[in-house]
Structure 1
Amino acid sequence: MDLHLNHVREIEAVAEGRSSARDAAVVESWMRCLTKHRLNPAARSEAYILPEAALREHRQRSEDLIAIARSGIENLYALVAGQNYVLLLADRAGVTVEYLGDEAQKQALRQSGLWLGAEWSEGRAGTCALGACIETGEALVIHQTDHFDSTHTSLSCTAAPIYDTAGRLTAVLDISLLCSPRAKASQSLALNLVQASARRIEMANLMAENRREWVLRLSRSPEFLDVDPEAALSLDGSGRVLGMTHGAARILARATGCDWRRAGDLIGRPLPDFLNLTTDRLEALTRQRPAAERFIETRDGHRLFAHAIEPRRLPVRMPAARGQLSPALRGLAGDDDPMTALLRTAAALAVRPLPISIEGETGAGKLTLARAIHDAGGAGPLVVVHCAEVGDDEALLFGRAAARRADQGLIAAAEGGTLVLHRVEELGPRVQARLMRLAAEGTYLPVGAVRPVPARLRLIATLAREAPALRADLVHRLGARLRLPALRDRADRLWLAERALAAEGAELSFSAEALAVLAAHGWPGNLRELSHLAATLRATVEGPVVRVEDLPPSLTGAPPRRAEAAGAVLAQLLRQTGGNISETARRMGVNRSTVHRQIRRLGMTR
């Protein structure tokens, strides 16, 4: 009780203008809690966790962010889990949309608010690392009695902002402890780790968005320039800034005397406004020269080392027959005839409001194809429903009609766009029965209603190859069926491997021996397994070449399908070199006659 009273008195003293030993960020947050948010320091508030339906909406809006951040937050949690940290990823509203923590501490973590769906905005929770980070845009530590609400004074929280490529704060990454050492300095390492992870997530996001543009990476040290740069920006063909990481926004703003908080004002300006550099010098900053020789200066006189990355070109030429596909669909396959035929069918269906079902093994890319069909269709919202979270909750999907008010469901939220029911076989029996009308007639009946409601949307259902829990009559009403092949059966799996590596923002390429291992692997996890492999290689291989010894034992320990693997590797190298036998032989480390002999033995053509 005395501790609570002393804490309240300290906050009141700060409000009266008395000096405080607290960090300036803490004092400023306390004042916002009092004057802006009108919070009472004497009141104790329980942690607030959103209802399931509201959390689902926040997570759906954050799907792309979670996908980009996945490998970064998992790597960070692996580093700190042994010290009992909990990891939270929150959206810009302060709602936790991703969570990693010790299941053994489940009850205590949920009670304290270190849980999925907890809201940590400053207006809700008072001074806390997540809320203060959203308010200021700065990384910080809120340690124990730094918290405004005495309910949280046992916690130690460390947070860093994540910005999108337009310079807008889009999320906050936080690691927190239920109990921690008394000294606040004990969290200095945690702050550095969180900031580094946020920077790498921003870097991955920028690289993923700008595969066809120049990217300029920046570092104060040549030794870390190519492996862990501090900042990066993307440029269009005329040398104007397209996007940037937060570190780059600070560098560019400082060079011109601007406020980094208005990073959007930097976009569209030519590169020489910020750096003593013109676009014709970018090629001299590629990896062809040693990192120590690639130095540049900012307009305000700071020296940096730079790595210019040329716009990426796909290693495989797309077949002419696929020129009619939208970019979203065209990017899903290389030279694989069955997959190309499937994409042509998907393109034809995308412009018609017909229900579609997508079947395939786990990780085969069902949800990715559904999103691509929506993009190709052109209009309206995309609502993705993870059916396991719906279960038998009919009102969540169909809405509820009552005498005084009507609650809209997820079907209504997709009006004019696309409703994707992911793993539709995981819906409960009552929901499946109610779904029949929507699939067959394009109308649905809200819970408690007597008249059906028309639904102006496209319905896409994804389901596992074997789905015994799905009603047979519902399967027949789900319209056109697209069956995705497993990765092991696709002729373009090596192209997909190189594309997955590029998507991670890595300046890496596979050696011929590593490609042979990838070609021989059975890929039980399909594209998801491939994506996780690429993220792991991005984090662990310094480059520029991924060799067999860099691959995990789960790949190298499998018995190879030698003839198939050799043919796939040779075909891949021939495509990459445009059929140049000499260059293919050089990459394989053999002579030209060996390449000719393998082409004849495998029955291939150039």
Structure 2
Amino acid sequence: MILSHQHVDEIRRIAAGHAPAAGTPDSLIHRSWHRCVNTHGLDPAQSFGPRVESPTRLRESRERIEEYLQVARGGMEQLFKRVSDLGYVLLLTDADGVTVDYIGNDSWGKDAQRAGLYLGANWKEEIAGTNGIGTCIYEQAALTCHRDDHFYTGNVGLSCNTAPLFHPDGKLMGVLDVSALAMPNARESQHLALHLTTLYGQMIEDANFVRHFRDHWILRLATSWALVDVLGDMMLAFDSDGVLAGASTGARKWLSGLALQGGDDAPIEGRHLTDVFRCSMDDIWRLARSSNVMDRALLSAFDHQSYFGSVVAPRMRSAASSAAGPRDVTDAAPALAPASPALERLAGDDKQMRALQDQARRLANKRINILIQGETGTGKEVFAKALHESSTRHDKPFVAVNCASIPESLIESELFGYTAGTFTGARSRGMKGLIVQAHGGTLFLDEIGDMPLHLQTRLLRVLSEHEVLPLGADRPIRVELTVIAASHRDLRQLIAAGSFREDLYYRLCGATLPLPALRDRRDLGYLIELILREEAEHLDTRAYIADEALELLERYEWPGNVRQLRNVLRFGLALSDGEGIYPEHLPPEVTAPPVLLLLPPASGAVPAVSVAQSPPARAMTRPPEAERLLAALQEHRWNITAVAAQAGQNRTTIYRQMKRFGIVSPTQLPPEGERS
């Protein structure tokens, strides 16, 4: 009785805001005591009797979460095998604290029922005061409520270990509870029980997550390659386009700390995997196809950490995901995401190109014509060929036609072919046209904007009727192909000028893929390394580029894009005899120093330097961005790498900003007498 009074007095003292005495329960329990008295209006001196809900209420709750119950029961049975000899019973509640499932020893039945450790008992904190289940629901965290942690003196003999269970949408589903009627006084005696409760709670959650998203792809993530297939630390569910549909509890907590685009409050659902990982979808699909646990690749995330991953294929297809028709799960990964090393190798960590690669992968096997737009030299044909090689047509022909390079008098016969004797000088057996040669594969029409108008009409018929009529022929030839067109010109402007057919444009641009100019990309270093590796293989050497030469290449604007970059590197390799490329091995247009104009310095600032090609009015203006960049450069003693790291950008971007604002390092200035 004395102990009961002491317990009541301690709760009232804590609830009144007094600091807890040394050695008392942790603050989580104290918060609950405070809520019970000040929010719920409970009195710890009152007697407590467990509240048991009606059979109807219990049945309704069980029916509402029937599938969840089936999953949880399996985990509870496994857990009970490990704790039954220690005197524990297991409870499973819904989100309202009502016990919907129970496993215990028959010999404890009456005692457990009197204590409320039974079906239908309501352990909501507003009703039962501080207890493992009710307080777990409030705190949504695993906890131990041991003996006199409980609010009511009638419960101080109980020891409860609880873990919250969350639905795949992040909402609380219920609580897993491991309780005993009598345990030693020391709270430390419950450490193992709490650990097992938390572990099996996660297993139940994960099993329910996999069941819930059985019609989606699931990416498991772990820090250990050996466990990633069976006990992933985190799981992400996604569709065939890589769009997230859900995340496990661990993954939700992790994602909330990544500062992804859209802010922390933006929902996880609807984001893309490439917003989370520094990789393309091709990297994810390779995991799906791998059957060797040793091949579980490291995925680099935007928290600068790497994780081992494995991908689980859908076990069934939902109506939404199977709208295009049923598909055998074993074939799903190759069909949805074919191996595409050709596409993947075209870009490093440039976000624009990664997004473009993912779009191309999704379009590769669709019966849709594609238009690639981009400046001269951006690699339109290379991209088109990579798209073809990534498709199920990869073993069929890829036929490339440059509409600008074939004479107008020959382009019709080259494209459509002709029969024997059609015109003077024709082949005696006639000729199969390029369109027919591409049957079953891909026809690439480069510089489509230069195709003559009368041939545009014939091409339109090919695309609409899937037939080709060779010159001199009486019967058309059936063709099946995908057309990829490309142009550096704006076809809509050509339509307005009357030199390109609008109906042909809409036949060609089922999807438009804009290739960025090299000056707008952030993976110049990757491209340089890739090109050097390719060229070095032909030269049988181990070529490399010196840092000084790399800096010059990063500063250059590249009007000729990737084609010009390849030519510059070939030039450098030739002059260096296949060894390291230094500034003296680069062509003059890359190494020529800019003509300089000095800007009037701001008060107390080191003079900035402007490139002469900049408009004079702009050169005399010092925008805030220029001031900030100049201050950062001066702070880091013109160390471009340090400035880029501070700004979260790469060195190429910093060099381009310097050129834009006319800022030149003091080490690059000519002698003062030579400035003009």
TM-score by length of 2: 0.45
- The TM-score normalised by the length of structure 1 is 0.50
Bigger Rg over Cα: 2
User: With CA pairs under 8 Å and 6+ residues apart, which has the higher RCO, 1 or 2?
Assistant: 1
